[in-house]
């Protein structure tokens, strides 16, 4: 039964008359299966030589083309406490509409009359500045008066000095004349004395000449005293000039010092006025920040801080808003090894989540439910997920427009179309882990050829 014997019984026994044998061993069925296997093998061989479009696959999500069109959060530049909400989640708001009202939480801004009190301080400081300015003007007038008075005093004293010099000159001349008269009187007295001793002159003549000599001598002494007095007056006039110059220089220096001190106080007061005006402007701007307004037209997505009376810090996110006017785009991520294969303007097929699609990555023309896109931006720095970010916009030359009901944030799968290769080459590339072929568009190739011809 186990067919262990060397003897053959097939020739002696006719198995074809048994129905079970006929149902198991069917020569026609074997031939049919062999033909099917041969056809499949021929089909697979033909399939290996069919064209296959290489692709770069990526996963991403729907976003907007411009940064200001993307969902944003509204923050408050100042800390505060929520007092009232004017909108609900899902409401549409126009640019400038009030979203919520907040109040102060810092004690230095609690005063409701803060701006008015600041105005009073500014007015007081302005009055102080005006007083300082008036004082500066008065000191400058006083300085001019001192300099004018100094000039007059010096002119008067210089006149006295000139008079003293002229008087000295006059006294010197008079003294010389008196000395000449004294010499004449002495000569006359000597002659009279000789004649008197000889008896030729009377004693009266002798005494007269003696008296004239004494008068001449007295005149010389008197004129010498006058000359010394005139010289003293000259010295006094010179000393008076020096005293007046020193006195008025001291007064002028003191007045100039007061002017400088007053100007310093004036500048300090004006600086305080500027600081108070700056604070007042800041208070006005801060008061305008108590009402959080919509930066652009859009829809209120979610209130991140919702409770009445809830406090928050400056810069903390309060509410999320989605702009109503935006241009749809897709943000996808590719591997660093595939990045050199992508260029601005390359065509990409996109499959959106929620839209049915049948995708053949190697035969994009045979796919259904995908939409055309083109590369508009490629990030130059790697993202946190280890891939490079690529931004896609709708391809207006595509056969189908993107769905109008797309929402920002929904998922998307992308297929960047590259070179056409045989199926066997793609299988070989995938088995060896090689990247897709690097290729250039026809217009770029023509440009390169044109540039090379120009160089030649």
Residues 328 and 69: their CA atoms lie apart, in Å, by 9
Residues sharing a CB contact under 8 Å with residue 295, sequence separation 6 or more, in sequence order: 72, 74, 95, 321
Question: 80 has which bridge partners?
Answer: 312
CA 155 to chain centre: 62
pLDDT band at 449 (very low <50, low <70, confident <90, very high): very low
**Span 381-430, pLDDT tens digits:** 888 888 999 999 998 877 778 888 888 888 888 877 666 666 676 677 66
What percentage of the chain exceeds 90 in pLDDT?
A: 18
CA dihedral sign of residues 394, 400, 405, 409: negative
Say what the pLDDT of residue 244 is.
87
Say what the pLDDT of residue 84 is.
92
pLDDT band at 448 (very low <50, low <70, confident <90, very high): very low
Say what the pLDDT of residue 100 is.
92
Q: What tokens were used for 123?
A: 């007015």
Of 14-23, 182-191, 194-203, 256-265, give the lowest mean pLDDT range: 14-23
Residues 350 and 60: their CA atoms lie apart, in Å, by 10
Q: Which 3-state string (H, E, C) describes the chain?
A: CCCCCCCCCCCCCCHHHCHHHHHHCCHHHHHHHHHHHHHHHHHHHHHHCCEEEEEEEEEEEEEECCHHHCCEEEECCCCEEEEEECCCCCCEECCCCEEEEEECCCHHHCCCCHHHHHHHHHHHHHHHHHHHHHHHHHHHHHHHHHHHHHHHHHHHHHHHHHHHHHHHHHHHHHHHHHHHHHHHHHHHHHHHHHHHHHCCCCHHHHHHHHHHHHHHHHHHHHHHHHHHHHHHHHHHHHHHHHHHHHHHHHHHHHHHHHHHHHHHHHHHHHHHHHHHHHHHHHHHHHHHCCEEECCCCEEEEEECCCCCCCEECCCCEEEEEEECCCCEEEEEEECCCCHHHCCCCCEEEEEECCCCCECCCCCHHHCECCEEEEEEEECCCCCCCCCEEEEEEECCCCCCCCCCCCCCCCEEEEEEEEEEEEHHHHHHHHHHCCCCCCCCCHHHHHHHHHHHHHHC
Q: Looking at residues 288-307, what average pLDDT do you find?
A: 89
Q: Which residue has the higher pLDDT, 454 or 293?
A: 293
Residues 369 and 350: their CA atoms lie apart, in Å, by 9
**Span 210-226, pLDDT tens digits:** 788 788 788 888 888 88
Tally of CA atoms within 13 A in the half-sphere of 182 that contains its CB: 16
Say what the pLDDT of residue 86 is.
92
pLDDT band at 444 (very low <50, low <70, confident <90, very high): very low
Residues 81 and 310: their CA atoms lie apart, in Å, by 5
**Span 232-278, pLDDT tens digits:** 888 888 888 888 888 888 988 998 899 899 999 989 999 999 999 99
Say what the pLDDT of residue 206 is.
73
Say what the pLDDT of residue 13 is.
57
Q: Is the pLDDT at 23 greater than 50, yes or no?
A: yes
**Span 353-388, pLDDT tens digits:** 877 766 555 555 555 667 888 899 988 888 888 899
According to the CATH classification, is domain 71-104+290-322 in 2.40.50.100? Answer: yes
Tally of CA atoms within 13 A in the half-sphere of 140 that contains its CB: 9
Q: Chain-wide mean pLDDT for the chain?
A: 80
Say what the pLDDT of residue 355 is.
75
CB atoms within 10 A of CB 35: 10
The domain covering 114-288 belongs, at the CATH homologous superfamily level, to Helix Hairpins (1.10.287.620)
Residues sharing a CB contact under 8 Å with residue 231, sequence separation 6 or more, in sequence order: 164, 168
Q: Looking at residues 337-345, what average pLDDT do you find?
A: 80
pLDDT band at 453 (very low <50, low <70, confident <90, very high): very low
**The domain 54-68+326-450: what is its CATH number?**
2.40.30.170
Q: What tokens were used for 409?
A: 């944030």
Cα 42-44-50 angle, rounded to 5 deg: 110
Q: Is the pLDDT at 195 greater than 90, yes or no?
A: no
Residue 85 · residue 303 · CB < 8 Å = yes
CA dihedral sign of residues 309, 313, 318, 324: positive
What percentage of the chain exceeds 70 in pLDDT?
A: 81
pLDDT band at 447 (very low <50, low <70, confident <90, very high): very low
pLDDT band at 193 (very low <50, low <70, confident <90, very high): confident
Q: Is the pLDDT at 88 greater than 80, yes or no?
A: yes
pLDDT band at 456 (very low <50, low <70, confident <90, very high): very low
Q: Is the pLDDT at 1 greater than 50, yes or no?
A: no
pTM exceeding 0.85: no
Q: Which residue from 434, 439, 433, 403 is spatially nearest to 420, judged by alpha carbons?
A: 439
């Amino acid at each position: 039964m186990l067919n262990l014997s060397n003897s053959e019984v097939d020739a002696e026994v006719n198995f074809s008359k048994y129905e079970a044998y006929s149902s198991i061993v069917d020569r026609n069925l074997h031939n049919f299966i062999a033909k099917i296997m041969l056809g499949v093998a021929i089909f697979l061989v033909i399939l290996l030589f069919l064209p296959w479009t290489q692709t770069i696959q990526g996963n991403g999500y729907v976003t907007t083309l411009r940064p200001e069109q993307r969902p944003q959060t509204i923050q408050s530049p100042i800390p505060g406490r929520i007092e009232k909400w004017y909108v609900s989640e899902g409401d549409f708001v126009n640019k400038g509409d009030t979203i919520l009202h907040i109040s102060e939480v810092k004690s230095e801004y609690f005063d409701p009359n803060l701006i008015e009190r600041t105005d009073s301080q500014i007015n007081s400081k302005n009055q102080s500045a005006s007083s300082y300015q008036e004082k500066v003007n008065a000191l400058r007038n006083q300085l001019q008066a001192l300099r004018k008075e100094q000039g007059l005093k010096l002119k008067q004293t210089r006149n006295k000095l000139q008079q003293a010099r002229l008087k000295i000159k006059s006294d010197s001349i008079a003294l010389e004349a008196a000395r000449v008269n004294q010499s004449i009187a002495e000569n006359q007295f000597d002659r009279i004395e000789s004649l008197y001793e000889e008896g030729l002159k009377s004693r009266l003549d002798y005494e007269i000449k003696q008296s004239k000599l004494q008068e001449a001598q007295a005149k010389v002494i008197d004129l010498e005293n006058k000359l010394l007095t005139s010289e003293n007056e000259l010295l006094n006039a010179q000393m008076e000039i020096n005293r007046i110059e020193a006195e008025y220089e001291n007064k002028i220096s003191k007045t100039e010092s007061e002017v400088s001190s007053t100007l310093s106080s004036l500048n300090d007061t004006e600086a305080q006025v500027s600081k108070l005006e700056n604070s007042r402007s800041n208070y006005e701007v801060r008061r305008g920040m108590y009402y959080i307004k919509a930066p652009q037209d859009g829809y209120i997505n979610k209130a991140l801080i919702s409770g009445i009376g809830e406090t928050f810090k400056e810069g903390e996110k309060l509410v999320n808003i989605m702009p109503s006017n935006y241009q749809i785009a897709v943000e996808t991520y590719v591997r660093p090894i595939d990045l050199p294969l992508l260029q601005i303007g390359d065509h990409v097929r996109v499959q959106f989540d929620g839209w049915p699609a049948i995708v053949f990555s190697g035969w994009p023309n045979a796919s259904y439910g995908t939409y055309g896109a083109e590369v508009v931006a490629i990030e130059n720095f790697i993202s946190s997920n280890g891939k490079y970010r690529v931004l896609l916009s709708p391809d207006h030359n595509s056969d189908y427009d993107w769905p109008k009901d797309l929402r920002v944030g929904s998922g998307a799968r992308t297929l960047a179309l590259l070179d056409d290769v045989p199926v066997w080459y793609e299988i070989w590339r995938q088995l060896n882990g090689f990247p897709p072929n690097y290729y250039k568009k026809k217009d770029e190739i023509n440009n390169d050829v044109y540039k090379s011809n120009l160089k030649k």
